[in-house]
Amino acid sequence: MRPLRLPLALLAFAIVCVVAACGGIQSSEGDGGGGDAAADSGGDSPTESGVSEDSGGDGRAEAGNEAGTDATMPDATLDAPDESDADTGGPVFIYPDAGADCGLGANGEPLDLSCTGLYSDWASKTVAPDVQPFAPGYVFWSDGAIKSRWIALPAGQQIDTSSMDDWTFPVDTRIFKEFKLVLGGTPTRVETRLLWKQAPGTWYRTSYRWSADGQTSATELTAGEMNVAGTTYEIPSQLECADCHGGRPSGVLGFEVVALSAPSATGLTMAQLVSQNLVTTPPSGSVTVPGDPTAQAALGWLHMNCGVTCHNDTGGLASGTNFWMRLNVGSLGSVQTTDTYTTGWNVPDQGYPIPGATKSYRFHACDVPESAAYYRASLRNGVNGTPPGTQMPPIVTHVVDNSDVAALAAWINEGCGDAGHD
């Protein structure tokens, strides 16, 4: 299937629309910001369309903010231009499936998922050969949705990994994430999200809402949707995407060194990226989350659900709290050298006093009830009388990630004997 090359005038128009809607081009140095946390976790298993993750439950989603939405505005974010971007003028290709009617939106985006190049054959949902599946070892909680992920890098291009903590992706990189809910006992596609790097420093982010059968069609949805298919699952609006993705310079969250280096990562892992010569600079050594399995489970979950999105020092919406939970490569020598530990362990939480607690800490050793990070992750606003502004992450998720919250409690109580309680 030959890709369709867009007219230069249309390309220029698309870029102008992105710039105008976002208030102009700005330089950014982070990978995803936003509310405090929320990730998906669970085993990864192959499906007919790639590597998938099944964390059980009836499903809901990640990302976003509970502010109002404007379906006409694109959601673009920026990373710092680099040499690999410099000679690429903008979005060059649309990749239609054979026979597809590929209408384009105001920003040059395909209005139909079949025109994005994810599938080489729409009817059979055969993933295109240049689109590689991946499943990170640490994942965002999406209220139990079953997820599959793929990335398509432009031919002959590499990811600039000279900064191992913040990668720069080549123009025309496309990253897809499919969400399925178990409806009537059957896993059914409800949305597929697209991150498309259209120009140096500019990403277009959007969602495609599947038809009720999860098979026939998937069209762009920018306004978001609550209570999908009668569940509590929420598709975030296009504007909400920046709340999480603005916290990293690259604008990309789960495709990063810590998650792809984890032993449970599958598909296009960090090792595969190196072996396929898809990165400019391999890691200088092993990238391993420190500690025993209990600490690793908690730190990895906090990294992906809180740190890469919000609680970091590179632009996340919670960066001003100085409570950072992103795992940077240079801090992985021990649990005690991670930002999670140095900014959170036994540190009083002045921003959120736990109701009824004598004292509130971010993490209080051997004392789960006085650990605010645990308390807020274990609740959802409006459920059992929980007041607004309590839950973390504060957006889109409506179901507690019980297994990973329990892993967090286990870390807080580790080595405490009878002193630990939850």
Q: Is residue 382 assigned to a domain? A: yes
Q: Is residue 153 assigned to a domain? A: yes
Contact at 8 Å (CB) between 131 and 153?
A: no
Q: Which of 214, 239, 263 is the last residue of a domain?
A: 263
Q: Is 379 found in the same domain as 249?
A: no
> Residues 279-304: pLDDT tens digits?
999 999 999 999 999 999 999 999 99
∠ CA 181-62-238, nearest 5°, is 105
Please report which helix (H) or strand (E) contains residue 175, including its range: strand 174-183
Q: Is 78 found in the same domain as 23?
A: yes
Q: Is residue 60 assigned to a domain? A: yes
Q: Is 186 found in the same domain as 47?
A: yes
Q: Is 300 found in the same domain as 254?
A: no
What gap in Å lies between CA 374 and CA 371, rounded to an integer?
6
> Residues 209-232: pLDDT tens digits?
999 999 999 999 999 999 999 999
Q: Is 340 found in the same domain as 232?
A: no
What gap in Å lies between CA 229 and CA 241, rounded to an integer?
21
Q: Is residue 269 assigned to a domain? A: no
Q: What's the domain range around 219? A: 4-263
Q: Is residue 331 assigned to a domain? A: yes
Q: Is residue 308 assigned to a domain? A: yes
Q: Is 299 found in the same domain as 254?
A: no
Q: Is 311 found in the same domain as 225?
A: no
Q: Is 408 found in the same domain as 327?
A: yes
Count of structural domains, the chain? 2
Give this prediction's pTM: 0.80
Q: Is 278 found in the same domain as 258?
A: no
50: left (phi over 0), alpha (psi -120 to 50) or beta: left
Q: Which of 231, 263, 295 is the last residue of a domain?
A: 263
Q: Is 324 found in the same domain as 235?
A: no
Nearest to 210 by CA among 226, 189, 235, 186: 189
Query: Mean pLDDT for each consecutive 10-residue tract of the chain (422 residues)?
Result: 39 36 32 34 37 39 32 36 41 56 87 94 95 97 97 97 96 97 97 95 94 97 96 93 79 94 98 98 96 98 95 90 96 98 96 92 98 98 95 94 98 80 46
Q: Which of 263, 282, 299 is the last residue of a domain?
A: 263
DSSP calls for 55-75: --SS-------SS---TTS-B
Q: Is residue 252 assigned to a domain? A: yes
